[in-house]
Structure 1
Amino acid sequence: MGFQRFSTCFLLALCILSQSLAKGTLGFACNWGTITSHPLPAQIMVKLMRDNGINKVKLFEADPMALKALGNSGIQVMVGIPNDLLDSLATNVNAAIAWVDQNVSAFISKNGVDIRYVAVGNEAFLKTYNGRFVQSTFPAIKNIQAALIKAGLGRQVKVTTPLNADVYQSDTGLPSGGHFRPDIQNQMMSIIKFLSQSNGPLTFNIYPFLSLDADPNFPKEFAFFDGSAAPVVDGSITYTNVFDANFDTLISALEKNGFGSMNVIIGEVGWPTDGTSNANIKSAQRFNQGLVDRIVKKQGTPKRPTPPEIYMFALLDEDLKSIDPGPFERHWGIFNFDGSMKYPLNLGGGKSLVGAKGVKYLAKQWCVISTQANVMDPNFAQSMSKACTYADCTSLAPGSSCSGLDTKGNASYAFNMYYQRLDQRKDACQFNGLSVVTNIDPSPSQGSCHFEIMIDIGKHETKSTSFAAPKIGLAYKFMLVSSFSFTLSLFI
């Protein structure tokens, strides 16, 4: 079994489970993504984290509303810097000083935010970036570190950079053969040496789901912690799951370069619940419960018996994320977009996962296809395309939760997602006479397909109908059209 089956290939962005202690109990932590059309109020998000024992959170950028809400919350924060800022931060130390002053110092001093890490870039060495950020990442790290020292925060706030697991590999197909990619070996050594000297951790993202989803020959059971797949034997070590094998491949690479004791954080790991056949509630619950159990037991890997901090991806679903990696990209949340529970998790100590409280919703009404509509209407396909261009239709993708709907069901789902995205405005359910508003929930009585009601963020009476379309990718547009055309052909 080649290690390529173990490695992950895409950026993806989480909820952390850390082994740190908070108030005498095991603490959890979380990546809080904000690429969503209808964000939950920040105060509700903070309460959701506290209610579930989450005492660490990672932000992908310095979102002011999120940071203010985290002030004096008892939650430790890792603040991210997007890749598009790396060039300016790398070439101008004054830009780094200004960024730290505005996004770190100010929130610590004025709002009482407990910022512990600055994450410079996100998977900047990902192969799909074709070297775009290879030369700017390390200089940006050095300048941010210098800015933190200048601000008097050099000891309190540490620098790190989250990297994808594709920065290391194994030519033998076994963890013991781990080494860093030759094309970035020099950059990796510079970063590792610098972080080691400044007591900053290395951060890596590992995705067993992607190993499974990208390779039809990957043994499914090996993706889970409680799987029954044939083990991988590497000398005196036996591996029963891909997470351990992947992580120990990294440790082998560090050992070969003289940094076997380097502090490592797992920045992202999780399992999506929709968008493809492997992304479903049952598998996500199984994987994440196994991960929680390991953290509660303080179980590490064969090469690192002491477990690292582990950031699970993600806290909530995000409907505006690019789905270039796949339709599943918008469904990584342990919770739904509104903070409601997808599935139960036993958090240990007699505690279970609980959903968000105090969420306000729009009226219980849906936009669906009219009973008088004809699927052969020349406006039918155009209306579907319009709805799915501006709203999230990833649950209609093949193998997804709503992929079993018929042609009219597909249209109703698409129309409703558009209607909810536009906050149930009257003009948002006007699809060339093909649609109507109903007070009867159109969700199927069986299965996991659900027709959403949007949360109320106070914009449902806005008159303007213009807004930016989410980035859905050409491949997904083709998939939607192909899937719809196939379904439509069944009714011709």
Structure 2
Amino acid sequence: MGWFSLAIGLVSLCLMVCTVSGIGANWGTQASHPLPPDTVVRLLRDNGFQKVKLFDADYGALRALGKSGIEVMVGIPNDMLQSLASSVKAAEKWVAKNVSTHITTNNVNIRYVAVGNEPFLETYNGSFLKTTFPALQNVQSALIKAGLSNQVKVTVPLNADVYASSTGLPSGGDFRADIHDLMLAIVKFLSDNSGPFTVNIYPFISLYIDPDFPVEYAFFDGNATPLNDGGTSYYNMFDANYDTLVWALQKNGFGNLPIIVGEIGWPTDGDRNANRMYAQRFNQGFMSHISGGRGTPMRPVTVDAYLFSLIDEDAKSIDPGNFERHWGVFTYYGVPKYPLNLGTTNSGSLVQARNVDYLDRKWCVMKPSAKLDDPQVQPSVSYACGRADCTSLGYGTSCGNLDARGNISYAFNSYYQRNNQLDDACKFPNLSMITKTDPTVGDCRFEIMIEPYYGGAERTRGCLQMPLSLVSGLGLFLLTLL
């Protein structure tokens, strides 16, 4: 099979879209210093987002969404599927606490419950194959018992690897052979209960994994050589991937099942193809492509989707790739990364978060007198990167052009900021110093962290969670320093 078939079956590793009812965003919270929920909800409203997708049922986020009018898809993490699958009572308790209470008490506009998140990824080796469907059934039963099943619908956000094409064309689409019966059972259940099929589609991942993937086919400019499927021309991967799913549903008797694109987006750092220029090109192209309800060749109607993602998350796992922490349309402190017209604001521009509190303007850097061949350099950098975020360092990244001293300073500062600028977090032996001179170089920003948010608890400068013992081998990166 060719590159298209590979792209269709690719494992997406993480990640929005336009509808008549408005644009949606994924709000992830795996951040060392998350913005206060009220700030994020104001950010959503200021930018005209009418829908938000959560990955759990965080109380603070849901409470902040109360009376906002924003439609909410609340998530159930994969590690909860087992308990919900094995007990209807557990599902009823979860629905009462995380759905009913917020609807009745806080006036949160919850419209969907997402049961699991990409639970059938092949990389999970079948871990959730036996629990996802029973959990889905029990949550639905709990919604019925709570009298909410007409208002709140269940769904399962799935990766695009649950379907594939036997011909390399959309019309060859069908569900993956190893889970075909399970997928049909779930699809029938969704259809019977008026729930949508939710899918995450990532052209970036195709480009990341397959070096032969044609770059232009990831975008919406019409510059790619089209894929011809029985007279239908596909000029971009999104349309082809989406219609492969449409064909899979149609072949199995569910051609009218609603589809939601749960995640779609492009990262801005951590890989040579993850940059602000490509991200702006993709997301703006996507918005333009789906505006006016044009849809895809097989479904020329409004596409319902959620951009991935709203804000960067500096504490996400980077097992899939260093880009995982950089999907945000906004930085972790709520500043737009690039121009993007969502068609939802009067200005046609993104509006940054308001009233964000930053730590002091100071940084931790390598001392000018410190030597690169100091034996403490490697373990110090390894320690700092292992406990902070160095994913902007490396080939093709925003800080990929730093020299050796710059790499070391970046690592030190990342650790220092992660630890709320504590003096002890800038005491790498004979190597580091605190400066008030911004070490930012070109596009490589040496960030200042925002004030920590403790969910209403008293704000303090905190303390280091572990002593600064420099152990060689710790960390996520082995930087080439010399």
Smaller-chain TM-score range? Answer: over 0.9
The equivalences for 1:121-270 within 5 A come to 121-270=116-265
5+ residue gaps, structure 2, are 454-458, 468-472
Question: Which of 431, 434, 440 lines up with 2:431 in the alignment?
Answer: 434
Deviations 1:136-158 (A, max 9, x none): 11110000000001011010100
Q: Which amino acid aligns with 1:403?
A: G
CA drift of 1:66 comes to 0.3
Count of matched residue pairs:
469
Do the aligned partners of 1:327 and 1:397 also contact (CA within 8 Å) in 2? no
Query: Residues 362-377 of structure 1: matches in 2 within 5 Å?
Result: 362-377=359-374
- CA distance in 2 between counterparts of 1:369 and 1:227 reads 47
Q: What SS does the aligned partner of 2:241 have? A: helix
Cα distance in 1 between the residues matched to 2:33 and 2:226? 44
Q: Please name the residue that 2:7 is paired with.
A: 5
**In 2, Cα distance between equivalents of 1:218 and 1:109:** 49
**Aligned residue runs from structure 1 range 209-358, under 5 A:** 209-348=204-343, 350-358=347-355
Alignment of structure 1 residues 77-116 onto 2, 5 Å: 77-116=72-111
Q: State yes or no: 1:424 paired with 2:426.
A: no
Once the two structures are TM-superposed, the CA of residue 464 in structure 1 deviates from its matched residue by: 4.0
SS of structure 2 residue aligned to 1:54? coil
Q: Which amino acid aligns with 2:395?
A: P
Give the drift of 1:171. Answer: 1.5
| Alpha-carbon distance, 1:297 to partner | 2.4
- The 3-state SS of whatever aligns with 2:381 is helix
* Counterpart-to-counterpart distance in 1, 2:78 and 2:20: 29
Range with greater deviation from structure 2 (1-10 or 398-407): 1-10
Between the aligned partners of 2:368 and 2:87, the Cα distance in structure 1 is 62
**2:465 aligned residue:** 465
Calculate the TM-score normalised by the size of structure 1.
0.93
Output the CA distance in 2 between the equivalents of 1:87 and 1:248.
32
2:54 is equivalent to residue 54 of structure 1: no
For 1:153, the aligned partner's letter is L
CA distance, structure 2, for counterparts of residue 316 and residue 350 of structure 1: 21
Q: Is the 8 A contact 1:169 1:179 kept in 2?
A: yes
Partner Cα distance (2:409, 2:347) in 1: 42
The answer to whether the 8 Å contact 2:365/2:432 transfers is: yes
CA distance in 2, matches of 1:389, 1:76: 37
CA offset digits 1:239-260 (Å, max 9, x no partner): 0000000001111111110111
Distance 2:376 2:106 in 1: 53
TM-score of the pair, normalised by structure 2: 0.95
Alpha-carbon distance in 2 for matches of 1:233, 1:386: 52
Partner of 1:24: none
CA distance in 1 between counterparts of 2:179 and 2:336 reads 41
The amino acid across from 1:125 in the alignment is F
Q: Which moved more, 1:343-352 or 1:266-275?
A: 343-352
Alpha-carbon distance in 1 for matches of 2:279, 2:258: 28
Q: CA deviation at 1:28?
A: 1.8
1:75–1:114 contact (8 Å) kept in structure 2: yes
CA contact (8 A) 2:57 2:74 kept: yes
Could you say what secondary structure the match of 2:29 adopts? coil
Q: Is the 8 A contact 1:316 1:332 kept in 2?
A: yes
Identify if the C-alpha distance between structure 1 residues 263 and 7 changes in structure 2 by more than 3 Å, giving closer, same or farther.
Answer: same
Q: Write the letter of the residue equivalent to 1:461.
A: R
Query: Is residue 18–residue 287 contact of structure 2 (8 Å, CA) maintained in 1?
Result: no
Task: Give, in angstroms, the shift of residue 363 of structure 1.
Answer: 0.5
What per-residue deviation string (whole Å, max 9, x for no partner) do you get for residues 393-425 of structure 1? 000022111111111100000000000000001
More displaced, 394-403 or 153-162? 394-403
Between the aligned residues of both structures, percent identity stands at: 56
Asked if 1 retains the 8 angstrom alpha-carbon contact of 2:113 and 2:152, the reply is: yes
Aligned partner of 1:470 in structure 2 is none
What SS does structure 1 have at the residue aligned with 2:113?
A: strand
Deviation, 1:59, is 0.5
1:18 Cα deviation from its structure 2 partner: 3.7
> Matched residues in 2 for 1:4 and 1:460: separation?
50
CA distance in 2, matches of 1:321, 1:186: 33
Query: Distance in 2 between the 1:462 and 1:144 partners?
Result: 39
Structure 1 residues 232-241 or 293-302, which shifts more? 293-302
- Asked if the contact 1:7/1:206 (under 8 Å) is kept, the reply is no
CA contact (8 A) 1:7 1:211 kept: no
1:72 and 2:67 matched: yes
CA distance in structure 1 between the partners assigned to 2:347 and 2:386 by the alignment: 44
Deviation at 1:350, TM superposition (A): 4.9
Preserved contact between residue 203 and residue 264 of structure 1 (Cα < 8 Å): yes
Could you list the structure 1 runs, at least 4 aligned residues long, displaced by more than 4 angstroms after superposition: none
| Rounded Cα–Cα distance in structure 1 between residues aligned with 2:227 and 2:289 | 20
Q: Could you say what secondary structure the match of 1:359 adopts?
A: coil
CA contact (8 A) 1:11 1:123 kept: no
TM-align CA RMSD: 1.6
